[in-house]
Amino acid sequence: MTETTNDATTPCWIYRSSKKDEMYLYLARQDAFEDIPEALLKRFGTPLPVMELELHPDRHLAREDVNKVIGNMRNIGYHLQMPPNLVPDLYDGETI
């Protein structure tokens, strides 16, 4: 796959965090970590490659708006997907 970008598709490399479950970085260029702020990389940990794909406006992503991802990658070189907000069910003991 080439690293060129046109209006129809945007190449994308996805990395998962070694420190935080379900946190992902989407990069416009393979291994382009120089665009990532140092503080973010420190918190993210070692980026572990997950997949490479082509993004386009009609593509469905499980947890992200593809247009937002494409916009962030074109404008700042990356997109950060945060883990979902999980709300645990708390058990307070027996109810009457």
3 lies in a domain? no
pTM over 0.85, yes/no = no
Per the structure, how many domains does the chain have? 1
Q: 54: domain CATH number?
A: 3.10.510.20
Q: Characterize 14-37 residue by residue with b for buried, 16 or more Cβ atoms within 10 angstroms of its Cβ, and e for exposed.
A: bbbbeeeeebbbbbbbeeebeebe
5 lies in a domain? no
Amino acid at 57: P
Query: Which two structure tokens, joined as six digits, stand for 12?
Result: 């994308």
Selection from 18, 1, 14 nearest residue 50 by Cα: 14
Q: 35-80, pLDDT tens digit by residue?
A: 899 999 999 999 999 999 999 999 999 899 999 999 999 999 999 9
Q: Is residue 1 scored above 70 in pLDDT?
A: no
**Whole-number pLDDT of residue 3:** 42
63 lies in a domain? yes
Selection from 27, 33, 36, 24 nearest residue 1 by Cα: 27
Range of the structural domain that residue 30 is part of: 10-81
